[in-house]
Amino acid sequence: MTYQQKFRIALKEALSDTGLAFIVNVPLNFLLVYLCITVWQVGTFWTSVIMTSIFTVFAITRKTYVRLYFDDRNRKKYGDTQQKI
């Protein structure tokens, strides 16, 4: 596989992950801000801690599943060219 092919695959994965993040994070952001300000009535520090923690968990989970999806897809398309761990 050439560098250009690897670059295109990586770019597709990055764009897909970023697009998925946008779709999930915008409504999640509105919900968390509403909960922190209106329901829980916490200050700016705890709002920041809560949002950062939740977004981190979502990001790690999302990125894991996106990576597994693209890894499986690329193996089917290009064959098993990666070394086994």
State pLDDT tens for residues 35-70: 999 999 999 999 999 999 999 999 999 999 999 999
Looking at residue 78, what is its pLDDT? 85
Looking at residue 22, what is its pLDDT? 98
Looking at residue 1, what is its pLDDT? 84
AA letter at 21:
A
What global pTM score does this model have?
A: 0.84
Contact 27, 72 (CB under 8 A): no
**What is the token pair recorded at 68?**
């597994």
Domain map of the chain by residue range? 3-75
Q: How confident is the model at residue 79 (pLDDT cuts 50, 70, 90)?
A: confident
